């Protein structure tokens, strides 16, 4: 039996696909070169924008012909859908989204939640120099435009010692670069508080995701099969944690250890990789400790992705982003003061609900002040179930969105493209 995996979307999805591949290999299946030569086609989906979703529908429809031909010949051909779209199905208790997917993808045989794959498998990596290492999954921030908290669920941190041992293993195998991945790496460990508090966090977690009693038992038994979000052992906790008091983070509504990600990053950087990167970190909880760690480890990338989304305070508020434009600029200056050669990339949404010309101009002004090296500029599109879809109107016309998109492309990305052609 042969499998073929198609991945849409971000690095996190690609990292997930490496574990899906490990799962299929473990069943004794081999990799197919194309959709045609496969028996199992696994499509790892993205929903960040409507266009990403439409590409999945298009692909599944196109695979219909191959499927019919294979079935006629008596061969096995199964189309398995996983990733973000199935994350929604998993969490939408009304069943509406599943119904919609079944209508739009009648060729699909199975809808597989990514949670079935888990973190425990050793990923099958094709790149032999650079590796993605997931450190958490999900997000608790609920930016009003974003579907991630619905597709991936609440934030669950991967056990600290698992990340460390995976990185050590990569170093041993000769990998030169690692990228630590999470929806918001800064809040890594918010759910890794020890003892009762940890179990409390597990109770808060998405109930369809965890068997609470099992999680609790695993914690108490210190089992190697403990699920994500549980310390394997108090003994393996970094010793500095014993002196650190968790802080209460208002917008998360829970406690977290603020220095855990800087500590993790520092430990990985000290392993001696040529480059250590991380993605993504948010401006509102980018700590001074993190800047210190980046400054003192020169192998931590000098290109930092710091999503701003908008340069206007009112828009940021509507987006439920926890910083103002000025706070973002102060953070950039702080980083530049300690790491003068740092380059910045960002994400920006144009045409978010109610965005006026003046509000858009604030974004242009902020971009000019920062001097981004690159920006992923997208035109706002409403996403299923998000607060923006329920509360606001998508009232900026497509033409205006396109014009604003062009302004930022010409300001930020076109000059960079020209520069890269010259060199
Ligand atoms: S921080 Fe906001 S934009 Fe990023 S994944 Fe979470 S909800 Fe989405």
Residue whose Cα lies nearest atom 8 of ligand 1: it is 146
141 lines ligand 1 (CB under 6 A): yes
Mean pLDDT by 10 residues, the chain (423 residues): 94 90 91 95 90 91 94 94 88 84 91 74 87 88 90 80 90 96 85 44 33 34 34 55 60 62 93 96 90 97 97 96 94 97 97 98 98 95 91 96 97 81 60
| 149 ligand 1 Cβ < 6 A | yes
As a whole number of angstroms, the distance between CA 128 and CA 175 comes to: 6
Say yes or no: CB of residue 143 within 6 Å of ligand 1. Answer: yes
- Residue 318: the pLDDT is 96
Which among 134, 149, 347 is the best mutation to test ligand 1's pocket, defined by most ligand atoms within 8 Å of the CB? 149
Topology (CATH) of 2-116? Rossmann fold (3.40.50)
Residue 207, pLDDT score:
31
Report how far ligand 1's centroid is from the alpha carbon of 108 (Å). 29
Query: Whole-angstrom Cα distance, residue 191 to residue 198?
Result: 6
Q: Measuring CA to CA, which residue among 106, 78, 56, 68 is closest to residue 2?
A: 78
Please report, for the chain, the start and end positions of each structural domain, with discontinuous segments joined by +: 2-116, 302-423
DSSP 221-271: HT-TTPPTTS-S-GGGS-GGGGGPPPEEETTTTEEE-TTHHHHHHHHHHTT
Atom from ligand 1 closest to the CA of residue 139:
6
**Residue 329 belongs to what H/E stretch?**
helix 325-338
pLDDT of residue 254: 55
The most distant pair of C-alpha atoms in the chain lies apart, rounded to whole Å, by: 66
60, two tokens: 């599944």
**Hey, what are 327's tokens?**
């706070």
According to the model, what pLDDT value does residue 216 have?
Answer: 37
> How many A from CA of 282 to the centre of ligand 1?
8
Ligand 1 atom at shortest distance from the alpha carbon of 280: 4
First to last CA, the chain: 47
Q: Identify the pLDDT of residue 208.
A: 26
| 27: its two tokens | 């069943």
Fold that domain 302-423 belongs to in CATH:
Transcription Regulator spoIIAA (3.30.750)
- Give 138 Cα–ligand 1 centroid separation in angstroms: 9
So what's the pLDDT on residue 112?
86
């Amino acid at each position: 039996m042969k499998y073929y995996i198609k991945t849409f979307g971000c690095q996190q999805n690609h990292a997930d696909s490496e574990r899906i591949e490990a799962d299929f290999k473990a069943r004794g299946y081999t990799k197919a070169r194309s959709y045609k030569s496969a028996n199992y086609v696994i499509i790892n989906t993205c929903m960040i924008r409507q266009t990403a979703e439409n590409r999945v529908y298009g692909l599944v429809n196109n695979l219909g012909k191959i499927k019919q031909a294979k079935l006629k010949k008596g061969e096995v051909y199964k189309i398995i859908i996983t990733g973000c779209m199935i994350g929604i199905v998993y969490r939408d208790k009304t069943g509406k989204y599943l119904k919609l997917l079944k209508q739009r993808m009648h060729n699909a045989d199975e809808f597989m939640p990514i949670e079935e794959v888990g973190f425990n498998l050793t990923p099958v990596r094709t790149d032999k120099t650079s590796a993605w290492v997931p450190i958490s999954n999900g997000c608790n921030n609920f930016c009003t435009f974003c579907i991630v908290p619905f597709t991936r669920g609440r934030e669950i941190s991967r056990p600290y010692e698992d990340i460390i041992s995976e990185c050590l293993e990569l170093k041993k195998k000769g990998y030169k670069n690692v990228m630590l991945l999470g929806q918001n790496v800064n809040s890594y460990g918010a759910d890794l508080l020890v003892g009762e508090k940890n179990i409390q966090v597990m109770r808060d977690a998405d109930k369809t995701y965890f068997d609470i009693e099992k999680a609790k038992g695993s914690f108490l038994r210190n089992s190697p099969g403990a699920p994500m979000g549980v310390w394997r052992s108090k003994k393996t906790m970094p010793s500095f944690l014993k002196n650190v008091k968790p802080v209460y983070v208002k917008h998360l509504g829970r406690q977290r250890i603020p220095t855990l990600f800087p500590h993790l990053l520092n430990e990985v950087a000290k392993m001696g990789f040529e480059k250590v990167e991380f993605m993504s970190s948010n401006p509102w909880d980018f700590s001074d400790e993190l800047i210190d760690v980046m400054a003192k480890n020169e192998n931590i990338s000098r290109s930092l992705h710091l999503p701003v989304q908008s340069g206007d305070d009112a828009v940021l508020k509507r987006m439920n982003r926890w910083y103002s434009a000025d706070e973002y600029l102060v953070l950039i200056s702080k980083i530049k003061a300690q790491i003068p050669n740092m380059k910045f990339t960002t994400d920006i949404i144009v045409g978010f609900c109610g965005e006026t010309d003046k509000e858009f101009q604030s974004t242009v002004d902020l971009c000019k002040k920062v001097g981004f090296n690159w920006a992923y500029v997208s035109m706002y599109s409403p996403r299923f179930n998000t607060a923006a879809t329920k509360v606001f109107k998508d009232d900026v016309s497509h033409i205006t969105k396109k014009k604003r998109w062009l302004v930022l492309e010409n300001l930020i990305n076109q000059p960079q493209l020209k520069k890269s052609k010259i060199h």
